Structure 1
């Protein structure tokens, strides 16, 4: 039995019934425990039931990832750390390297965010009639993601395709490993004659799933014959389904909205067909793995089958346009021989490639390889060779420090600050409470992109205000928002008071009633200023014209220039 210890760090506590990635981490945790490892979990947030389950398994669980990482690593000196998703790993890798240099670090990519976001950007912009272009914000996030992978001792990907992509982009094929998701579900015992309906499973907080749902209901279902839809109604399962969508589905007809359920298995095993109509994304799709494991034949787009080595007409039906997708549904509803063949072949393929036993053995072998190697002594870093770029880096670091000092001096220590951060965790360490990214997804993670318009920015504002944000902070680097999102700025000025307006540092709005009262009280105590600081527009005017254009619509030329400028900041340090 091994006496080694491992830290698993993630946003959510690993669990089997929340989302696909939490289920993946739970399986990795189980594999380590079965091999005799002592496992500790550190997560940002968690449902009480998830933490309770792990503690009953004898697994210590700690919360508040960024606050407690250093104390925990210093105390335990783990042999191995598995960090789920690059944005969780980014601030923790340096802590582990400094506090416990012997710890081997594995970053589990989950899916490659830079790939998923690039596909989303190209798709959304081409649909608006403009040429799809990546901008400097995308480039900055891409660099941070790749740097985080390169700083680890190993990177796990859910498919060989994504492992190869990381290896190509980091110029190192020796530290990337494909460790697929696994499923080991019992086959459905329900006969073909009793199988009814088309089942669509997804986490609808995840934009690719929401896009796929609209595509399915608006463009595919109307092409499925009425008689088939009547006999096999569509069943939609997953969290965060809006009430407005239920009203929309009612108009389509033969669509049942179920929403979140403790287990999707009973619905999949009773369905005649599983549908996976994804149009963009990355990684592999657990919804398809579960359908194959249970023995429910599926119709999927190529995006849905990516990384799974599935063959059209042999394991699954692959359809990349609405007509062929609808035809695939009709065939599985009426062709019994096709249905039985796909059921048999799909389950056999899954058991061989992604059964629990096979994946567990492969994962533990990967861990052994990582432990046998010397840990990394270097990582990507800013070179500072170019004086102008070195100055820009130093100026930004000084800005962050000024913001911290201002927040410490001017704001209550326990207030909750939302920050227009571009995903930079440095900007969240402002007082005793960790700040929040703005914009963010519903898990509180940086959204990865700017709002498409003022209406979306206002929706984001209302979401963080409802969650309990007291303040919204715009660092100087985000002053361009006030011009680009003019209606959003008007909304802020009409509904919230300005607590701080410093042209060289930040603008801060009071969101909560307590923050507004605190602001009013502080203003009464201050003597009137001799000169008023310039409004955000003036500060925004200091931003270069090229940078402004980048926020609106980059030309192909400007995109190359911005990307090259950012790439010039980094190099691989020699060991």
Structure 2
């Protein structure tokens, strides 16, 4: 099978959860002997993964340019995976025109319209926000994202909570959605035994790409409201904040006297996570699953998070293995107790290992995805007939996108003449 992935950015597994989740998806396809091309209009970043070393071809592509049409005709993919809805908007009509029989799969990473709605709500309230008013949820952003989901043959969803939202609030047919969370190798008993114990660890950690709005908001909430409460009780403790692409306004918050240390990019997130005693993730808004919490599970580092952070991380069979608190006072109290109590710390760690290995098993989710795509490939004609709303959206909106792209290309060509 030939797979073409059209990436919004080049995967950066050391910089973001989206980066290492994409890399896991690519590895899953390669392990099933698929030929994979990763194409992107983004500039190649210094932290990007070495895709050729994984047997994956790289291809730089241009927006609003017919050179992509020639590339498509030569590649002839059986499956095209759009990395986020913006790539489906930009390239979907070209894929349908030149490769009409190719499966069109959308990967959302998170339901970004939900993240944006919660962000708007959190700005108004200043509090942890999960439920949002319909006027914020049913936004123009949501219309674009849900339209891309309906136009696609299948959409990969990282969170069961977001599948529930799409099927209930937006009336999306479940046959268009597939649950595909983080796909990770298990933490073996031998690996667990080699991790530092509680008395070998010190300090708190918070980690997350600074370009991601929920992470920057969490840093500010820590600095302004939560960390002073913790530091008052543990004057020798420090909070080490890591993340890719720290802006000057973030590094300016570094305060050794207060133990509030902004460390910036970490070459190995697992290495710094293993040295910390407790992970803090005070997210007031967001969507999807939180890579920082999954990293902590694998490193045996118990976490304190909010309702937003814990959303989708567990299920009926396995509870979230740590405190959940939505106010600065409750969050600080939970962090202090977890930092000091060996029994609670070890219980949270062991429950975390079980959740990690059962909920995010690479083989389980890779096999399920391959089986879903194989079934869909055999029944594609009927599947598309059943999705008449998607066919209407492709007919109307994609024509307008096509003509706009062709107009931009002609305009750009005229400038160079």
TM-score range, shorter chain: 0.7 to 0.9
**CA gap 1:72/1:117 in 2 versus in 1, 3 angstroms:** same
**CA distance in structure 1 between the partners assigned to 2:53 and 2:251 by the alignment:** 39
- The answer as to whether partners of 2:313 and 2:320 remain within 8 angstroms in 1 is no
Which residue number corresponds to residue 13 of structure 1?
10
The 5 A counterparts of 1:303-382 are 303-309=308-314, 315-375=321-381, 376=384, 379-381=391-393
**CA shift at 1:404, angstroms?**
7.6
**CA distance in structure 1 between the partners assigned to 2:47 and 2:37 by the alignment:** 14
Which residue number corresponds to residue 102 of structure 2?
103
**CA shift at 1:229, angstroms?**
4.4
**CA gap 1:338/1:401 in 2 versus in 1, 3 angstroms:** closer
Structure 1 residue 26 corresponds to structure 2 residue 23: yes
Structure 1 residue 413 corresponds to structure 2 residue 416: yes
Which residue number corresponds to residue 246 of structure 2?
241
**CA gap 1:304/1:62 in 2 versus in 1, 3 angstroms:** same
Structure 1 residue 166 corresponds to structure 2 residue 162: no
**CA distance in structure 2 between the partners assigned to 1:314 and 1:179 by the alignment:** 19
DSSP-derived class of the 2:347 partner: helix
Structure 1 residue 90 corresponds to structure 2 residue 96: no
Structure 1 residue 292 corresponds to structure 2 residue 297: yes
- The answer as to whether partners of 1:220 and 1:326 remain within 8 angstroms in 2 is yes
- The answer as to whether partners of 2:8 and 2:86 remain within 8 angstroms in 1 is no
**CA distance in structure 2 between the partners assigned to 1:58 and 1:404 by the alignment:** 33
**CA distance in structure 1 between the partners assigned to 2:164 and 2:59 by the alignment:** 34
**CA gap 1:170/1:352 in 2 versus in 1, 3 angstroms:** same
| Structure number with bigger Rg | 1
**CA shift at 1:403, angstroms?**
8.0
**CA shift at 1:328, angstroms?**
1.1
- The answer as to whether partners of 2:113 and 2:137 remain within 8 angstroms in 1 is no
**CA shift at 1:91, angstroms?**
2.1
**CA gap 1:252/1:151 in 2 versus in 1, 3 angstroms:** farther
Q: TM-score, normalised by structure 1?
A: 0.63
DSSP-derived class of the 2:393 partner: strand
- Show structure 1 runs of 5+ residues with no match: 385-389, 415-575
**CA distance in structure 1 between the partners assigned to 2:137 and 2:343 by the alignment:** 51
**CA shift at 1:358, angstroms?**
2.4
**CA gap 1:51/1:60 in 2 versus in 1, 3 angstroms:** farther
**CA shift at 1:77, angstroms?**
1.7
**CA distance in structure 1 between the partners assigned to 2:34 and 2:405 by the alignment:** 40
Q: Provide, for residues 48-71 of structure 1, a one-character-per-residue CA deviation record: whole Å limited to 9, x for no partner.
A: 667782223332110125345422
**CA distance in structure 2 between the partners assigned to 1:12 and 1:399 by the alignment:** 23
Q: Provide, for residues 300-346 of structure 1, a one-character-per-residue CA deviation record: whole Å limited to 9, x for no partner.
A: 00101111126999611111111111011111111000000000001
DSSP-derived class of the 2:295 partner: helix
Higher RCO structure, 1 or 2 (CA under 8 Å, sep 6+): 2
DSSP-derived class of the 2:363 partner: helix
**CA distance in structure 2 between the partners assigned to 1:193 and 1:147 by the alignment:** 52
- Show structure 2 runs of 5+ residues with no match: none
- The answer as to whether partners of 1:21 and 1:110 remain within 8 angstroms in 2 is yes
Which residue number corresponds to residue 139 of structure 1?
139
DSSP-derived class of the 2:50 partner: helix
